[in-house]
Each structure stands twice: as structure tokens, then as C-alpha cells.
């Protein structure tokens, strides 16, 4: 049992291959990409419009106007 503790204390600390800040940045980029892709699929395939219209600010303004009118 003491041998295991000595081996643990003699081991070098593990270095991270990808720093935590880079991991967070990668996750945020993936979330953004998946959100945009989901909006394009929903607007283009399910809604019957042009998928790239989902990225236009005018489209979002129209959606906001429809929601606020109710």
C-alpha cells in the first residue's frame, strides 16, 4: 500500500494537451454552428423557404414582430 502512494507521488503531473480555455472556445463555436445549422434546416426544409434566408436579420425581425403582436 505504501508502494502505491510512493509511485503516485513520484509520477510527473499530467499536462493537458488542449487547455481549458481552448476547450471552452471550441464548445462555444460548436454550439454556434449547430444553432445556425438547426435554424437553416428548420427554416429551409421544414418551413419550405430558402435555408440562407434564416441567417438574414430581416427574417428574425419578422419572427420577432409576429411573436410580439400576440
Q: What is the DSSP string of 21-67?
A: HHHHHHHHHHHHHHHHHHHHHIIIIIT-S-GGGGGSHHHHHHHHHHH
* Residue 61 belongs to some domain of the structure: yes
Indicate whether this model's pTM tops 0.75: no
Mean pLDDT by 10 residues, the chain (70 residues): 65 83 97 96 90 92 90
Full residue range of the structural domain in which residue 35 is found? 20-68
Residue 2 forms part of a structural domain: no
Does 39 reside within a domain?
A: yes
Q: What residues have CB less than 8 Å from 53, skipping those under 6 apart?
A: 43, 44, 59
Domain count of the fold of the chain: 1
Q: Does residue 60 form part of some domain?
A: yes
- Determine, yes or no, domain membership for 48: yes
Task: Say if 15 falls within a structural domain.
Answer: no
pLDDT of residue 1: 61
Amino acid at each position: 500500500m505504501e508502494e502505491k502512494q510512493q509511485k503516485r507521488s513520484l509520477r510527473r503531473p499530467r499536462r493537458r494537451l488542449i487547455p481549458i480555455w481552448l476547450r471552452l472556445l471550441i464548445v462555444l463555436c460548436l454550439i454556434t454552428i449547430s444553432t445556425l445549422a438547426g435554424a437553416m434546416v428548420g427554416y429551409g426544409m421544414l418551413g419550405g423557404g430558402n435555408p440562407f434566408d434564416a441567417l438574414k436579420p430581416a427574417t428574425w425581425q419578422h419572427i420577432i414582430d409576429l411573436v410580439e403582436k400576440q
